[in-house]
Amino acid sequence: MTIRVLVDVSLSPEWIGELHRHGWPAVHWSAVGDPRATDRTIVDWAIANGCVVLTHDLDFGALLALTHRTGPSVITVRGQDVLPDHMGPMVLALLRQHEAELARGALIVLDEGKARVRVLPI
């Protein structure tokens, strides 16, 4: 099963090319929805379309925790430089390493070189 990635507006559209180059289907939220949409709207769209949300926004993790949802999976990248030329290798490694957890439902927070994985619901 290949994970499909929805890149949130908090991250650059440059992520789409980086993910595609490495075989991960991806779409940027600005290409499919209103950039001013609520996090709940984005979460609902991700569930309906079988996507993992890639974001820089901590609100997605909070939403999953408060609602005890089992999806969608969310990867939150943290740090000063969250562009794909810096964080890309770490995100790609994380996608490969945790594909099974992401397919079932997980919240992963990726700091520089360190990932914390929580299986949903939390």
pLDDT band at 112 (very low <50, low <70, confident <90, very high): confident
Tokens 């909070």 label which residue?
62
List C-alpha distances in Å: 106 to 22, 37, 46. 21, 22, 13
Number of domains in the chain: 1
Residue 19: domain span: 4-119
Single pTM value for the model? 0.96
Please determine, for residue 95, whether its predicted confidence score (pLDDT) is greater than 60.
Answer: yes
**pLDDT tens digits for range 39-57:** 999 999 999 999 999 999 9
Domain holding 69: CATH number? 3.40.50
| CB-CB contact of 120 with 69 (8 Å) | yes
